[in-house]
Amino acid sequence: MTKAKLKWQQLILSLGCLLLFIACNNSYPTTNPGVQVLKVATDPTFIPFEIQTASGNLEGFDIDLMNVLAQPAAGIAKIPGFTVQFESLPFDGMISALQAKRVDAAISGITITAERLKTIAFSRPYFKAGLAIAVREDNQNIKDFNSLKGKKIAVQIGSTGADFAKTIPNAKISTFNSGPEFFQDLLNGNVDAVVSDAFATLYSIKNGKLKGIRVVADLLTEEYYGIATPKDSPHLDAINKAIATLLSNGTYKQIYRKWFNAEPPQLPDSWR
Ligand code: GLN
C-alpha cells in the first residue's frame, strides 16, 4: 500500500468516526441542561381551550394560561430558562399518562372530580364550567334532563359528559374520541342529543364553527377545571401559587376576555 493510499484510508476512517459520533450524540435530546422542562399534556380538539392551528401550533385559553403560569412573574418558573413543553395526548389517555408520570401535568379543560382525585391531583380551580345538552336546531322536544330519558346520546369517551349520560334512564349512549366527531353524529341525525361542556360548545356556535346546533339553556352541572398532576407532584404547590398570582394581578381576566369576550366569574380558592 502506498503512503498516499494509507493517508486517504485514515482520512475516510476518521471522517466515519466523526459522523458516527455526531449521529450518536444526536440521538439524545438536545435540551440545554440549564433549562427545566415541564411536560404538559393536552388534547387539542377542545375548542377554544386547546386548538391545533393549520400550521401545527397550539393555541387556546388553556395554552395561554399555562404559558403565562410558567413565566417567572407568575411563579412556577423558579429558575431562568424554565419552559413548558406541550404534548398532544387523547383526552381519554391523560389520567393514565399522569399516573405513570409520563408527563408532569395536564391542562385540557379537565373537570376536577372526586373520582379523578383518587388517582391524580388537581390544582385549585382555574375555570368555572358545566355540562349542557346540545341538540339539532330544529329539535324542540329535548329541553331538560327528563326529556333525555330513553334518547340516543353522544358523549366523549372518559369525559364528565359520559359519566353524566350513564345516569339518564334507558339512554342509548354512543361514545366518541372528540367533540368534532360527536357533533357530526348529531348533525347526521344518528343521535338525539350530545351531553358535553357548555362553554366549549357555545364558543363554537358563536364563532360559526358549529352550524345547525343549539345548546339547551340550563346547565346540567356546575364544574371546575383544574390543572392535573401526578399525585405527589413537586410542581403542584408552585402551580397553585402561580394561579393565585394571575387571578390577583389581572392576567387571568385578560386571557378570559380575550377568549370569551366576557368578565370571568368568581372562582373558589379550592375545590369543595
Ligand atoms: N371537562 C370534561 C371532562 O373533564 C371534558 C374535557 C374535554 O373534553 N377536554 O371530562
Please write the tens of the pLDDT for every residue from 124-150.
999 999 999 999 999 999 999 999 999
What domain range is 167 assigned to? Answer: 131-221
Instruction: Point out the least confidently predicted range of 71-75, 94-98, 172-176, 258-262.
Output: 71-75
Residue 59, class by beta-carbon neighbours within 10 Å (0-12 exposed, 13-18 middle, 19+ buried)?
middle
Task: Tell me what the mean pLDDT of segment 74-100 comes to.
Answer: 84
Task: Inform me whether the pLDDT recorded for 12 exceeds 60.
Answer: no
85: phi then psi, degrees, rounded to nearest 5:
-120, 110
Quick one: 119 and 245 in the same domain? yes
Quick one: 82 and 209 in the same domain? no
2 CB-near residues (< 8 Å, 6+ apart): none
Task: Tell me what the mean pLDDT of segment 69-75 comes to.
Answer: 75
Q: Is residue 31 part of a domain?
A: no
The residue nearest atom 10 of ligand 1, judged by CA position, is 159
Q: What is the pLDDT of residues 198-237, one digit of tens each?
A: 999 999 999 888 999 999 988 999 999 999 999 999 999 9
**Cell numbers at 53, concatenated:** 392551528
Ligand 1: nearest atom to the Cα of 46: 9
Q: How confident is the model at residue 27 (pLDDT cuts 50, 70, 90)?
A: very low
Around ligand 1, the residues with Cβ closer than 6 Å are 43, 46, 91, 108-111, 156, 159-160, 197
Q: Is residue 30 part of a domain?
A: no
In whole angstroms, what is the distance from residue 107 CA to residue 198 CA?
A: 18
Cell 352550524 belongs to 211
pLDDT exceeding 70 applies to what percent of the chain? 83
Give the pLDDT of residue 24: 43
Give the pLDDT of residue 272: 85
Quick one: 203 and 231 in the same domain? no
Centroid of ligand 1 to alpha carbon of 157 (angstroms): 9
Q: What is the pLDDT of residues 44-70, one digit of tens each?
A: 999 999 999 999 999 999 999 999 988
Q: How many CB atoms lie within 10 A of CB 226?
A: 27
Ligand 1: nearest atom to the Cα of 108: 9
258 CB-near residues (< 8 Å, 6+ apart): 64
Ligand 1: nearest atom to the Cα of 162: 10
Q: How confident is the model at residue 77 (pLDDT cuts 50, 70, 90)?
A: low
Cell 361514545 belongs to 175
Q: Which amino acid is at 198?
A: A
254 CB-near residues (< 8 Å, 6+ apart): none
Instruction: Point out the least confidently predicted range of 18-22, 72-76, 130-134, 226-230.
Output: 18-22
Centroid of ligand 1 to alpha carbon of 33 (angstroms): 35
Ligand 1: nearest atom to the Cα of 156: 8
Q: How confident is the model at residue 26 (pLDDT cuts 50, 70, 90)?
A: very low
CATH of the domain at 199: 3.40.190.10
User: If you count them, how many residues does the chain have?
Assistant: 272
Q: Is residue 3 part of a domain?
A: no
Give the pLDDT of residue 224: 98
Instruction: Say which residue, 111 or 36, is predicted with more confidence.
Output: 111
Q: Is residue 5 part of a domain?
A: no
Q: Is residue 74 part of a domain?
A: yes
Q: How many CB atoms lie within 10 A of CB 65?
A: 25
* Pocket mutation for ligand 1, best pick of 91, 176, 196, 220 (most atoms within 8 Å of C-beta): 91
Quick one: 119 and 135 in the same domain? no
Quick one: 153 and 200 in the same domain? yes
Quick one: 229 and 112 in the same domain? yes
Q: Is residue 181 part of a domain?
A: yes
pTM of the predicted protein model = 0.86
Quick one: 122 and 63 in the same domain? yes
Quick one: 138 and 121 in the same domain? no
Give the pLDDT of residue 10: 65
Closest CA to 44 of 52, 34, 54, 36: 52
Quick one: 156 and 199 in the same domain? yes
Task: Inform me whether the pLDDT recorded for 112 exceeds 90.
Answer: yes
Element (H, E) at 139: none
Q: Is residue 9 part of a domain?
A: no
Task: Tell me what the mean pLDDT of segment 24-34 comes to.
Answer: 48
* Average model confidence (pLDDT) across the chain: 88
Number of domains in the chain: 2
Quick one: 161 and 173 in the same domain? yes
Closest CA to 163 of 94, 92, 216: 92
147: phi then psi, degrees, rounded to nearest 5:
-75, -5
Q: Is residue 96 part of a domain?
A: yes
In whole angstroms, what is the distance from residue 122 CA to residue 134 CA?
A: 28
Quick one: 77 and 50 in the same domain? yes
At residue 220's C-alpha, the angle toward residues 262 and 59, to 5°, is 40
In whole angstroms, what is the distance from residue 7 CA to residue 249 CA?
A: 68
Quick one: 194 and 116 in the same domain? no
